[in-house]
A and B are shown apart, each in its own frame.
Chain A
Amino acid sequence: MKKMDNTLTVKDLKTWFPIKSGIIQRTIGYVRAVDGVSFNVQKGETFGLVGESGSGKTTAARSILRLIEPTGGDVIFDNVNVTKARKSELLKLRHKMQIIFQDPYASLDPRQTVNSMLTEAMRVHGIVSNKVDAHSRARELMGVVGLSEEHLYRFPHEFSGGQRQRIAIARALAVNPEFIVLDEPTSFLDVSVQAQILNLLKELQTKLSLTYLFITHNLAVVHHMSNRVGVMYLGILVEVADKNEIYNEPLHPYTYHLMAAIPVPDPAVQKKEVLLPGDVPSPINVPSGCRFHTRCPYMTEKCVQEVPPLFERTKGHLTACHYEIDFQKGVRLNEIEYGSSAVKG
């Protein structure tokens, strides 16, 4: 994996939110929303980031784009260090890194027509020099996302959720991006509409050579869309692998339980009942050692004491767990030797 092939490199990204209290607003603690996340995304691939609420995936995505300022770590995009870039450099980067949000009802200005949205984006980045060009490009974009020209002159509330997401996609495409963060783009959409949007996204990826970071809690969707998947829990990555390996051979207990919890739309499939007890701990008081130990059926004293590093167990498959576990039998096997240094893929 040459560095040149990586469009995006995230190194030990941390985003902590201070908790202030008292009259003089002393900082008494931190919400460790993103607590040391590292991964790469190669050009043209889709990297899926999954996790439940509180995992930090949404904060991580926003920190990568600097919509939220990260408190530590580096994000390198196209050989430019995004986290350390000055505001003026950042603007130049912005058109290459776009984002589609989860809520199609909230992500569009209710008082702006579609045409205005698209041409504004073009104007901010100087993509076109005059109104005529802007207009024809807007028309073109409508066609690309499957809408028609007359839609340009309507307001967001006249569209359905699926159509609004298409508009959001058009707006992102208006500035010629290379990399798009998709933050749960279909969570609020009906199943049939979701299928249309996912198909569109895949089509656009091939046609325009886009790289995606796809964030979702829906494991079936992420499997459909991604090449590789990273699983987040309480601010860190607990497993990164090729999508099929994540589903068929998960190495981390959390991943295993996550997969087991997916309701299967086929009653003929007999699922083993595996339930994860309890709730996700608070990111203010992160458990010691392995953060998952409070809910893990296989935990030992070592898990409470030592933080497991994100370690490459087999090629391209990393996980942060001290043990090898046979999930079918529900038995903990041998301890992992980390060797000289823990490799962080």
Chain B
Amino acid sequence: MKQNNLILEVKDLRLDFNTYRGAVKALNGVNFKLYKHEVLGLVGESGCGKSVTALTIINLLPENAEVKGGEILFKEEDLLKKSKEQIRTMRAEEFATVFQDPMTFLNPVLNIGTQLEESFMLEKKALKAAVVAQRSQGKANINYSEFLAMKGKEDTILTNETKVSGKEIKKMAQNLCADVLRMVKLPDPERILRQYPFELSGGMRQRCMIAMALARRPSLFIADEITTALDVTIQAQILHLMRELRDTIDASTLMITHDLAVAAEIANRIAVMYAGNVVELTETREIFRRPLHPYTQLLMKAIPNVAKPVEKLESIPGTVPDLINPPTGCRFHPRCPYVMPICPTAFPKTTQPFKEHEVACYLYPQG
């Protein structure tokens, strides 16, 4: 039943970075599924491969990256088998990504309106359909939600005889820009359209980035550490926005963060990553109630919790492994308090000791 809700499946993804010092084995067989309409939190510390995984999906990797194996099934097609050109088209039509630092990802010399318009103008066909729909419905303006609903139905709306002028297309794009800014709760959208990125605060810029992502009406929305650079109160605003959008837009979200608390605020399910693997994956409540993997357990104990203050925080002994010469078998075994002789031999299979709760650890029956 859940299977036809599946939008993305990453299977045994392996990736190396070829560097001067040797091959960095960044991804060691990443497995997870993403269903429609859900937010999956990809949580892990630096070097665990969460950002790399997302970049591999949308094929935005540096030149020295080499996929060594696995599949990325998006709507049942393997993205790894597609050409660069095909993926580029998909980036425009299916994927939308928002990154951490809105200042560097917005063009400083163009105003917000121009950049947002550009986002819409990538799909002229959609705009044409919107104009036609507007004409036929005799409305003043098409709003974003209606535009969203039209996705995929352009061909039924457009016929060969429809004539839409360039001016009308541009006007439709502009009006959608204002509306999508309203969707991200920016006050006074018309004024913001005329402003430049440096005139806006960090939180506002991040909302603009989210707006640009929404313009693409994506099926897959990737949010890579989008609140890390923001203040706590602004972060709360953005997370609130994301929660609202989660319920209204038609996309699945991959929320990448190193902050377990942030993931808890917004994700339906959480995947914990360590050194290139997903070590645990389950519903948000479940992972906090019953963390199974030793790394997850230690991670939670290392976070200071105001409600449960301690004298000394539990830290994870050792350091993050060197991925050029990673530990054999389960990469966490040198730091694991429950290490057993079998752990260094091979990476454990992912099992489900409890319903809908996956973990990759020899502590649980490998069945």
A residues lining the B interface (CB < 8 Å): 52-53, 160-163, 190-196, 198-199, 202, 217, 219-221, 223-224, 247, 257-258, 260-269, 273, 275-276, 279-280
Shortest C-beta distance, A112 to chain B (Å), equals 22
Query: Quick check: is B203 within 8 A (CB to CB) of the other chain?
Result: yes
Residue of A53, A161, A217, A263 contacting most chain B CB atoms (<10 Å): A263
The one of A161, A190, A220, A265 in contact with B264, judged by C-beta atoms closer than 8 angstroms, is A265
Q: How far is the CB of A51 from chain B (nearest CB, A)?
A: 9
CB of A31 to closest CB in B, whole Å: 16
Question: Chain B interface residue count: which class?
Answer: 35 or more
Contact A220 B303 (CB under 8 A): yes
Query: For residue A268, which residues in chain B have a CB less than 8 angstroms away from its CB?
Result: 285, 288-289
Other-chain contact of A192, B204, B235, B261, B302 (Cβ < 8 Å): B302
- Is A263 within 8 A of B45, CB to CB? no
Whether B316 is near chain A, meaning CB under 8 Å from some CB there, is yes
Residues from chain A with a CB closer than 8 A to the CB of B310 are 224
B residues near A (Cβ < 8 Å) are 45-46, 201-204, 231-237, 239-240, 258-262, 264-265, 284-285, 288-289, 298-300, 302-307, 309-316, 319-320
A279 touches B201 (CB 8 A): yes
User: Which residues of B lie under 8 Å from residue A217 when comparing CB positions?
Assistant: 231-232
Contacting residues, chain A, for B231 (C-beta < 8 A): 52-53, 217, 280
Name the distance in Å between B100's Cβ and chain A's nearest Cβ: 13
CB-CB < 8 A to B314: which residues of A? 195
Instruction: Give the chain A neighbours of B299 by CB distance below 8 A.
Output: 191-192
Question: In the bound complex, do residue B305 and residue A265 qualify as a contact, i.e. CB atoms below 8 Å apart?
Answer: yes
Count, A-B residue pairs, CB within 8 A: 120
Residues of B within 8 A of A194 (CB): 302
Measured between beta carbons, the chain B residues less than 8 angstroms from A269 are 307
Task: Provide the residues of chain A in CB contact with B303, threshold 8 Å.
Answer: 191, 195, 220, 265
List of B residues within 8 angstroms of A279 by Cβ: 201, 203-204, 234
For A160, the closest partner residue in chain B by CB is B319
Using A261-B235, A267-B264 as known contacts, say yes or no to A247 and B285 having CB atoms under 8 A apart.
no
Contact at B201–A264, with CB atoms within 8 Å?
no
Q: Is the CB of B306 within 8 A of A199?
A: no
Inter-chain contact A191/B306, CB cutoff 8 Å: no
Interface contact B233-A258, CB-CB below 8 Å: yes
A265–B201 alpha-carbon span in the complex (Å): 27
Between A and B, 30 residue pairs with Cβ closer than 8 Å are A52-B232, A52-B233, A52-B234, A191-B260, A191-B299, A191-B302, A191-B303, A192-B302, A193-B45, A193-B315, A195-B314, A195-B315, A198-B304, A220-B304, A223-B306, A223-B309, A247-B306, A257-B233, A260-B236, A261-B232, A261-B233, A263-B236, A263-B259, A265-B288, A266-B305, A266-B307, A267-B288, A269-B307, A275-B236, A280-B201
